A = this chain, B = another copy of it.
Amino acid sequence: MSVRRLTMISEIFENNGSVRQYSAHQIIIFQSSELIESFYIKSGYVIVYDIAPKGEKKILMILKPGDVFPLIWSMKEHYKARYFYEAYTDCEIAVLRTEKLIEQTKANLEFSNYMLEMSVETIKELMLRLQSLESTSSTHKVGEVFRYLYRVHSEKNGKWRRVTPPVTHQTIAEMSALARETVSLQTKVLIDAGAVKYEKQHYHIQAKVLNANLADEEIS
């Protein structure tokens, strides 16, 4: 996304709304609550999840700085949240009445194009998540979560790519519908193979080794 566009959206949120601070683990939106506001992440990470009948968290997505949520803001002024949105780390978030956001989208071609590009990016990320959940083996499921993290949430760090949010075994378990113990075990396999390492509370990934380990299509 170009800097100019990021500046535009950030300005639209800040000139028309307000900025709030959330601490890690604080819930930003409760499932089924009625919403009239939209949110823009200035810094930090937000998880989107659902709670399964037995009480487990099922994380659908991790959102990053620059993202707008709720994801299904629907271009409607009133909105009933389908999922929980929770601060995964400390976050700084700009908040705007959704009607203002819609007003901008309907009046400003460049902004509408921007929101469209962002939505297409979200579709890409969701499809990666879907692919990973359709894996049948736990090795693949865990490998696919790392692939998603690599593609959506990593930055170059020497020969490795560093996963920017501080993801834990628990997070991976909640993203793959596996038990935490299974995730530990499978992550250790990937660490022993040299595909993944854990340093300073962040995972690091080497795509080629991960791909070879999953014996599947290339990461691109």
Contacts and interface: CB of A to CB of B under 8 A. Distances in A.
Interface of A: 50, 52-53, 56, 58, 60, 71-75, 80, 82-83, 105-107, 109, 112-113, 115-117, 119-120, 122-124, 126-127, 129-131, 133-136, 140, 177, 214-216, 220
Contact of A130 (B56, B133, B215): B133
A106 B74 CA distance: 21
A134 B71 contact: no
B120 A120 contact: no
Contacts of A215: 53
A127 B53 contact: no
A58 B135 CA distance: 9
Contact of A216 (B53, B71, B129): B53
A129 B204 CA distance: 29
